[in-house]
Amino acid sequence: MAYAYLFKYIIIGDTGVGKSCLLLQFTDKRFQPVHDLTIGVEFGARMITIDGKQIKLQIWDTAGQEAFRSITRSYYRGAAGALLVYDITRRDTFNHLTTWLEDARQHSNSNMVIMLIGNKSDLESRREVKKEEGEAFAREHGLVFMETSAKTAANVEEAFINTAKEIYEKIQEGVFDINNEANGIKIGPQHSTGGGASGAGGAGAGAAGGGCC
């Protein structure tokens, strides 16, 4: 598929918080109650449109298990956005956020947009972490916050797309250097003059602005 930009996302957080389910809901619009443990990293991709531009989100869904921590850390590099997920029904997953955040900040580029996600919002009766706590944590650490449900799909689209919007804004503001792939952003093959994907030399974004009506 042709795209204007490719954004690399990474999903991190404790095991069992629903990272893979969030990805599946976003890419396939379905929910799988029982999910195999993720080994290392799995991938998902979906095309979205922002500001009239086709953007491919390439999502790296990492394993939450402690054993894979050293491996998944090596994947942080070059991500433009991160979804840091906890489970609202398990306080320990919320308590580990600081460690995850430190990890992410240490191994990724400083401009990475991080979205904090309290997943399983459908399980209100089993809630252990108040929404306000999530909000406070996000505020304190300069993250965007959202409660989602991979099961009901509530806020799932928004979480992925709002993150993309923030990244896109940063590109517009010139914060991200789109020619540096370490930022997790690639210019789509449609911008290269040759037409081939292999030698995708960035020809720069298309004409900005444009007349109205």
Partner 1 sequence: MPTSDSDDFESADEGQNSPQKKERKKRLSSSNYSDNLESDQENRKGQSKTYSEPKKVETTDGWDDFDIDEGSEITKVSSEKDTSGPKCEDTTKTLNATTSNTDKGASNDSGWTDFDDWGDTDIPKTGKEDTTKQPAKNIEEVTERLAATSTATSTKNEGWGWGWGMDSILSTATAGITNLTTQVSQGISTVLETSIGAPDPEELARKASQSVENKNKGEDSVPKDTNKDKQEESTNSDAQFPFGSLLSGVTKFVETTGTKVLAGGLDTLETIGKKTMEVLQDGDPGLAKKRAMLGLDSADKPVLSQVLREAKAKADEEDRIKEQKREAKEVHYETLFDDFEGLVHLEALEMLSRQVSMRIEERIRAADPSKRQDIKETLQQVAELCEMPEEDDDEEESGDTSRPDALHERLQTATRDIGLKMQYQPLIKHYKETLEWLSTGDISSRAVYKRGVSSLAHATALAVETYHKTAEMLLVKTRRSTADEADALTQMTVVITKHIGDIATLFTARLNSITDEDKEQVSNHITNIFLEADNSCKYIQNAFQLALPIIQIGAV
**Residue whose CB is less far from partner 1, 70 or 125:** 70
The least CB distance from residue 71 to partner 1, in Å, is: 6
Cβ distance 31 to 25 under 8 Å?
yes
Q: Which of 39, 136, 175, 182 binds partner 1 (CB under 8 A)?
A: 39
CB of 197 to partner 1, least distance (A): 5
**Is the CB of residue 7 less than 8 Å from the CB of residue 78?**
no
Q: Residue 205, interface with partner 1 (CB under 8 A)?
A: no
CB of 77 to partner 1, least distance (A): 7
Neighbouring C-beta atoms of residue 40, cutoff 10 Å: 14
Query: Taking CB under 8 A as the rule, does residue 37 contact partner 1?
Result: no
Distance CA 173, CA 181 (A): 17
174 binds partner 1, rule: CB under 8 A? no
What is the SS3 assignment for 155? coil
Residue burial 53-81, b: 16+ Cβ < 10 Å; e: rest = ebbbbbbbbbbbbeebeeebbebbebbbb
Which among 90-98, 118-126, 150-158, 192-200 is the span making contact with partner 1, rule CB under 8 A?
192-200
- Tell me 143's DSSP state: -
Q: Which two tokens stand for residue 39?
A: 């080994």
Instruction: Report the site for partner 1 in 52-71 (rule: CB under 8 A).
Output: 58, 60, 67-68, 70-71
Query: Are 6 and 185 contacting, i.e. CB atoms less than 8 angstroms apart?
Result: yes
Give me the residues that bind partner 1 (CB under 8 A), please.
1-2, 39-41, 43, 45, 58, 60, 67-68, 70-71, 74-75, 77-78, 189-190, 195-198, 209-213
